Each structure stands twice: as C-alpha cells, then as structure tokens.
C-alpha cells in the first residue's frame, strides 16, 4: 500500500480524522443509591468527553455501572454530584452541594434529541411496526399524514419498509431492533444510545445492527454511544472506548490504543490480547520452550494494515543473524483495517536482538516484549 494511503488508514484507526467538538461532557459524575441501611456507589467520579460524530463504546461486565452512567446523559438518572453538559446545555451541576438542574420543559425537548435503544427492543406489541415508529412523533407538530410519511421513510432507512404493517411478534429480533432504531430516530436525534442493543441478538443479526448503527453514524453524523459487555461490538464500529469496572472508568482511548496498549488486565481481557498471550504461552509450554535460553526472548509484534511478511523474517536472519520462530498469530479487523498480532521467539545475541527490534519498529511494527515472568507464571 502507498505510504500516504497507509498513513490515512492509520489516522482513521487512531481516530485522528474526527471532529473534536464535544457533544457529551461528564465531569466528576457520581451516582449513589441509598437503600435502607445500604449505600451503593453505582458510578464513582466519572469524567468522560464524547465528541460529535463519534461511535463511543463503553464496555464492562454486568454491574459495572454502564447503564446508570448513560442514564445520566438524558437525566433519566439524576447524579449525586458532578456536572453533565449535553450539546452545550448544562443538564446537571452540583458543586459544593449547590444543585442546578435543567428546567423540566427544556429537558423534555432536549431528551427528544437523544434516541435510545435497549436489549429487549421495548416495542408496543399491539401496534404495527409503522405505528410503533409514529408513536415517537405523537408530541410533534407534524400532521398525521406527515407522521405516517416520516415513519415510513425511517423504516426505509433501516431497511424495513416492507414490514410496515406487520406486528412486532411477526418479526425476528434483528428486525424488531431495526424498528426500535427507526423509532429512536423519529425526532432527528443528535445522539443515539444503545444500551446492550445487540445483546439479545444472534451473531448475524448483531453484525447487521452494528453495521446499521455505523451507517447512520456516517450518513447522519449521528453520535452513537454503545453500551455493551461485548468487545466484539466495540471492535466492529467504535472510534473510542471507555472500560468500566466497579463504577469507575479504568481506561479510555481510541480503539487502536486500547487494543495495542491496554494498561489494565481487564481491558486486555476484553480486547482479547490476554487470551492471545495465553494461547502463545500455552504453545510455548506445549513445545517445552517455557524455559527460554539466555539468547532467546519472546516478543509480540503488532502491525496495522499490512502484514509481517516472510521476507521480513528472512531479513532478520540475513541482516541481524536472528532466527525468528512464529508461535502464535491472530488478525483482527478494526474499522475495516486488519490489525495483526504475532508472537515470535527471537534467537540471537542480545545486541543483535536489540538491533532487530529497532529495525522492526522502523517498519511501523509495534514490538512488545513478553516478559519471562509471564511465561513462567502463565
Ligand atoms: N435504581 C437502583 N437502585 C439501587 N441500586 C441500583 C439501581 N440501579 C442500579 N443499581 C446498582 O448499581 C450498580 C450498577 O448497575 P448498572 O445497571 O448501572 O450496571 P451495568 O454495568 O449497566 O450492568 P448491567 O448490564 O447488568 O445492567 C449495580 O450494583 C446495581 O445493582
């Protein structure tokens, strides 16, 4: 690939070409639930900025506080402290105990600009598909005919115009979620929140819904907040990622950064590098290579767009007198770009190994040393 194209691809994966106008600003948000004698800190001092036009993934296991946090965005959940600014409007502010909340009528209007979809679709089963979409427009100034037309246009946008008169129970899960998306778009929102929107779907429907969200993000400039426990969903469409654990955000970054430079074990678990390392280490053990010789080390090579070719391995041998043995390899597609990880044992003098690693880095390959301790303890 020509260098410029490669750089552009890299920039895209790194999220560098995005606009940087903030649409969601959460500053030091905490949410505490008090139940009889119990206090649950569901969200703890979370600060998060989401840019206009981004697909922002928030991942974490069940109970991490993701749903509570996103409910703050449309103020369905009032925080206990902090500040929430949505599209320039201060929705909530509590500084030194002085609470300021957006006026309710203004909030109702603003909420219409934040669409939401859920795991179980939440459709009205006695209403047809088109009526379900039209329902979201009942407070609008549009006449009935206009409402029907707009609802049908939205169904067309999500590829369901032919099922307009069907009932939800006559549709597959993926189709029902499309109806929910059409309904969420009825008031021309600027933000669409998907709270586990693909968690009840099979893998094929999951991919279709994610691709639809990405298309809406591209075509309408819609900001998408993707709450999920499935990193695969985030990997497929997110530009940026936040990882939540016990009410806190433990790591944020663009997709590639999170993928390549994850700092926390939980993040590595989510992105699968933890399992990649585990497989590499298992291979080492199986090959009875756990005890590496003093002139050997295990390295992880991560590369974007292109691949680590055989000629590169030959070059390591010819130019640096290094024998490189590939023990495990994996390729992920992130934002339509292949990102590969290879675990390699390199054998040669310490000086030559360093030279070879410098050479690999010069080829835009990210080199991470797999520490001996990891191998022995793995
Ligand atoms: N209304 C509530 N009253 C009391 N506790 C709550 C309430 N809502 C959430 N919690 C608690 O807050 C914590 C975070 O819950 P939350 O639903 O935000 O997590 P989550 O990451 O979205 O998980 P899940 O995907 O399972 O919903 C949990 O311990 C939960 O039991």
Atom of ligand 1 nearest to the CA of 77: 1
Residues 251 and 312 occupy one common structural domain: no
> Which pLDDT score, from 0 to 100, does residue 307 have?
63
Residues 213 and 359 occupy one common structural domain: no
Stated pTM of the model: 0.82
Q: Which residue has the higher pLDDT, 14 or 150?
A: 150
Helix (H) or strand (E) holding 30: strand 22-35
Residues 93 and 193 occupy one common structural domain: yes
In a domain, 277, yes or no: yes
How far is Cα 365 from Cα 321, in angstroms, rounded to an integer? Answer: 19
Tens digits of residue pLDDT in 44-81: 999 999 999 999 999 999 999 999 999 999 999 999 99
Residues 293 and 347 occupy one common structural domain: yes
Q: Is 197 in the pocket of ligand 1 (CB under 6 A)?
A: no
Residues 230 and 310 occupy one common structural domain: no
Residues 225 and 297 occupy one common structural domain: no
The confidence band for 9, taking pLDDT boundaries of 50, 70 and 90, is low
The domain of 295 spans: 272-377
Q: Is 71 in the pocket of ligand 1 (CB under 6 A)?
A: no
The confidence band for 334, taking pLDDT boundaries of 50, 70 and 90, is confident
Residues 212 and 299 occupy one common structural domain: no
Tens digits of residue pLDDT in 292-326: 788 988 888 888 876 666 678 888 889 999 999 88
Final residue belonging to a domain, choices 270, 300, 330: 270
Separation of CA 27 and ligand 1 centre (Å): 20
Mean per-residue pLDDT for 245-266? 88
Q: Please state, for a pLDDT cut of 90, what percent of the chain lies above it.
A: 62
Tens digits of residue pLDDT in 17-31: 445 799 999 999 999
Final residue belonging to a domain, choices 247, 270, 293: 270
CATH number, domain at 288? 3.30.70.260
How far is Cα 93 from Cα 74, in angstroms, rounded to an integer? Answer: 14
Task: Please provide the average confidence, as pLDDT, over all residues in the chain.
Answer: 87
Q: Which residue has the higher pLDDT, 371 or 275?
A: 371
Report the number of distinct structural domains present in the chain.
2
> Which pLDDT score, from 0 to 100, does residue 278 have?
65
In a domain, 91, yes or no: yes
**Does the pLDDT at position 372 exceed 80?**
no
Give the sheet arrangement for strand 323-334, strand by strand: 323-334, 337-347, 296-304, 366-370
Q: Is 42 in the pocket of ligand 1 (CB under 6 A)?
A: yes
Residues 315 and 264 occupy one common structural domain: no
Dig out the tokens for 171 from the structure: 């549709």
Among 82, 85, 40, residue whose Cα is nearest residue 65: 40
Residues 348 and 334 occupy one common structural domain: yes
Lowest mean pLDDT among 31-45, 46-60, 118-132, 361-375: 361-375
Final residue belonging to a domain, choices 270, 292, 322: 270
Separation of CA 39 and ligand 1 centre (Å): 12
Dig out the tokens for 53 from the structure: 């036009």
CATH number, domain at 101? 3.40.50.300
Q: Is 77 in the pocket of ligand 1 (CB under 6 A)?
A: no
Residue whose CA lies nearest to ligand 1 atom number 6: 33
> Which pLDDT score, from 0 to 100, does residue 331 have?
80
Tens digits of residue pLDDT in 191-237: 999 999 999 999 999 999 999 999 999 999 999 999 999 888 998 99
Complex ipTM, two decimals? 0.95
């Amino acid at each position: 690939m020509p260098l410029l194209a490669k750089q552009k691809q890299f920039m895209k994966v790194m999220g560098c070409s995005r606009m940087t106008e903030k649409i969601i600003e959460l500053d030091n948000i905490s949410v505490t639930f008090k139940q009889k004698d119990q206090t649950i800190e569901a969200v703890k001092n979370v600060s998060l900025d989401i840019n206009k036009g981004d697909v922002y993934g928030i991942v974490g296991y069940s109970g991490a506080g993701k749903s509570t946090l996103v409910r703050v965005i449309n103020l369905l959940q009032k925080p206990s402290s902090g500040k929430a600014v949505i599209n320039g409007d201060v929705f909530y502010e509590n500084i030194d105990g002085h609470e300021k909340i957006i006026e309710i009528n203004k909030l109702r209007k603003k909420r219409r600009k934040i669409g939401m979809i859920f795991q179980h679709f939440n459709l009205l089963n006695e209403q047809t598909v088109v009526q379900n979409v039209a329902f979201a427009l009942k407070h609008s100034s549009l006449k009935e005919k206009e409402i029907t037309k707009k609802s049908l246009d939205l169904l067309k946008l999500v590829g369901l115009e032919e099922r307009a008169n069907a009932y939800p129970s006559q549709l597959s899960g993926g189709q029902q979620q499309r109806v929910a998306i059409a309904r969420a778009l009825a008031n021309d929102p600027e933000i669409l929140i998907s709270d586990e929107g693909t968690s009840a779907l099979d893998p094929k429907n999951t991919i279709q819904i994610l691709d639809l969200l990405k298309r809406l993000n591209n075509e309408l400039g819609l900001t998408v907040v993707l709450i999920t426990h499935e990193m695969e969903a985030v990997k497929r469409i997110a530009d940026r990622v936040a990882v939540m654990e016990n009410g806190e955000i433990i790591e944020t970054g663009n997709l590639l950064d999170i993928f390549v430079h994850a700092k926390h074990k939980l993040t590595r678990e989510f992105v699968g590098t933890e399992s990649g390392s585990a497989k590499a280490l298992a291979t080492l053990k199986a090959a009875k290579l756990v005890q590496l010789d003093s002139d050997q080390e295990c390295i992880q090579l991560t590369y974007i767009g292109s691949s680590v070719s055989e000629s590169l391995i030959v070059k390591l041998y010819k130019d640096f007198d290094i024998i490189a043995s590939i023990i495990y390899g994996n390729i992920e597609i992130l934002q339509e770009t292949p990102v590969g990880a290879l675990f390699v044992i390199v054998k040669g003098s310490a000086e030559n190994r360093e030279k070879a690693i410098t050479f690999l880095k010069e080829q835009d390959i990210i080199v991470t040393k797999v520490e001996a301790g990891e191998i022995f303890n793995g």
